[in-house]
Structure 1
Amino acid sequence: MKIISYNINGIRAAATKNFLEWLKEVNPDMVCLQEVKALPSQIPDIIAVIEQLGYHHYWFAAEKKGYSGVAIFSKVKPNHVEYGCGEEWIDKEGRILRADFDSFSLMSVYLPSGSSGEDRQAKKYEFMRFFDGYTEALRKTHPNLIISGDYNICHTAMDIHNPKSNANSSGFLPEERQWMELFLNNGFIDTFRHFNKDPHHYTWWSFRANSRAKNLGWRIDYHLATKPMLERLKAVQILPDAVHSDHCPVLLELNV
């Protein structure tokens, strides 16, 4: 089974860059998207193609138009889809969507960015604190869980091209990195690092200074799996040649 996580940075923009053709070629079983920035009613032509490719599709949009929003596509119909998390401000921003299947649950998640200023950084910390308790409770009823998405955090110095100059940058702050460390230590697996310990693997690049061509990036997109999923993990790849967004997809393969 192949699962893609991809911050698409606007599905309408990505579709003009051959995202749908790429999706057909890669042919994942399930897809978690972040920053879709659209409602299904706004993109009927895109929806038609997604359905032609054999996907059931589920969307959780932000109240603010053209902002945030997550989606899950799946060739296997879920037993249940959970829209949001019950925390009003997070749900208004369209940040959490979960699909439950027979043997595991899959979540598409988009953590806030704090790069625009102190207010949004405070909201990011608020989300992180909430998410700790939310996932702790969820795992009691859904122990086989994969949380895929854009966490907007580089875990270690290996996950960012220039850790020294970014020491005070949102996404690489000590408090954020400590949270990620504690989150993982509380029963999650960073599936990419489970298979690959090498540096210079990134999932996001600034549009500035030709960063992508120079591979001056950040690894902020993850498939995090609960430890009961360990034996089912087969492989993980970052796919930097997919250029529909300032992010790139991450591909997780599971043993069925």
Structure 2
Amino acid sequence: MKFISWNIDSLNAALTSDSARALLSREVIKSIQVHDADVIAIQETKLSAKGPTKKHVEALETAFPSYNIVWRSSEEPARKSYAGTMFLYKNHLEPEVHYPSIGAPTTMDAEGRMITLEFEDFYLTQVYTPNAGDGLRRLADRQLWDIQYSNYLADLDEKKPVLATGDYNVAHKEIDLANPKNNRRSPGFTDEEREGFTNLLNKGFTDTFRHINGDVEGMYTWWAQRAKTSKINNSGWRIDYWLVSNRLAGQVRKSEMIDSGPRQDHTPILMEIDI
């Protein structure tokens, strides 16, 4: 099966705007279409609590015909039109859809950050992990999230194998970002966040990109929009992942980035697995 994950940074902007950035986003959507994935996971939809509008649904159905759509948005008491996740899966598939709450701190469970699809032989779950924030103001809450999330995946893994994807907002090792020395206490590369990701893997999960590609350097999934030359200079971070239960690692055939051209921010990631 073939799976794709992408932090879209506003579904509405990507589908309905005529801005230069929106046009670049739609070029990325075309790149995703070519792969004809079985399931597409989307993070940071930034939709209202009511979910996609009729216009959004029509645009998605045009871009991805023969897919079912499930979504989860941020709801009160969390911020409006914030975070959010969505799955598109081919309509011959019949997963059971779960919207987990993991006992996360503050409003994190209400921010639409997770959806899980349960298939007969495996779980497919996506996450938009909370950012530690400017000044690391949310780092302590992020650490609690990491504990609860890793426990959630481990609980799933006891029942059946797990495929987990999304924007994890952490570069795990120095090789996973272009300038580790200058970002030692930046959100996404603190010792605490990196340790949280290590602890997650130690619960029985494999980072499929490293499993397939080894210690290849200069391969990233995110380039800061605030720095105009970040992508030109490949000053990026690898913070988006496809993880699998260790017992599935040998079945992974491909784990790679999809070229997003000149568009900065996140690029889609693809995994192919015999399952």
1:179 corresponds to 2:213: no
Mean Cα deviation higher: 163-172 or 37-46: 37-46
The structure-2 alpha-carbon separation of the partners of 1:49 and 1:215, relative to structure 1 and needing over 3 Å to count, comes to same
Partner secondary structure for residue 265 of structure 2: coil
* Unaligned segments of structure 1, at least 5 residues: none
1:199 corresponds to 2:214: no
Of 212, 215, 220, the residue aligned with 2:234 is 215
User: In the alignment, which residue of structure 2 is the partner of 1:81?
Assistant: 97
User: In the alignment, which residue of structure 2 is the partner of 1:230?
Assistant: 249
The percentage of aligned residue pairs carrying the same residue is 32
Work out which structure has the larger RCO, using CA pairs closer than 8 Å and 6 or more positions apart in sequence. Answer: 1
1:153 corresponds to 2:170: yes
* Unaligned segments of structure 2, at least 5 residues: 16-21
Partner secondary structure for residue 214 of structure 1: coil
User: In the alignment, which residue of structure 2 is the partner of 1:126?
Assistant: 144
User: Could you report, residue by residue, the CA deviation over 1:130-161 in whole angstroms, capped at 9, with x for unpaired residues?
Assistant: 112222222222x3111100000001000010
User: In the alignment, which residue of structure 2 is the partner of 1:61?
Assistant: 73
CA distance in 1, matches of 2:51, 2:270: 28
User: In the alignment, which residue of structure 1 is the partner of 2:53?
Assistant: 43
The structure-2 alpha-carbon separation of the partners of 1:85 and 1:41, relative to structure 1 and needing over 3 Å to count, comes to closer
Amino acid at match of 2:70: Y
**Residue 168 of structure 1, CA deviation:** 1.2
RMSD of the TM alignment (CA)?
Answer: 1.9
**Residue 120 of structure 1, CA deviation:** 1.6
Partner secondary structure for residue 217 of structure 1: coil
Partner secondary structure for residue 213 of structure 1: coil
Count of residues in Structure 1 that have an aligned counterpart in Structure 2:
255
1:72 corresponds to 2:87: yes
CA distance in 2, matches of 1:90, 1:78: 28
CA distance in 2, matches of 1:243, 1:37: 22
CA distance in 2, matches of 1:14, 1:214: 25
User: Could you report, residue by residue, the CA deviation over 1:48-89 in whole angstroms, capped at 9, with x for unpaired residues?
Assistant: 243351111110111232210011111143331001325373
The structure-2 alpha-carbon separation of the partners of 1:146 and 1:45, relative to structure 1 and needing over 3 Å to count, comes to same
Partner secondary structure for residue 138 of structure 2: helix
User: In the alignment, which residue of structure 2 is the partner of 1:34?
Assistant: 43
The structure-2 alpha-carbon separation of the partners of 1:224 and 1:67, relative to structure 1 and needing over 3 Å to count, comes to same
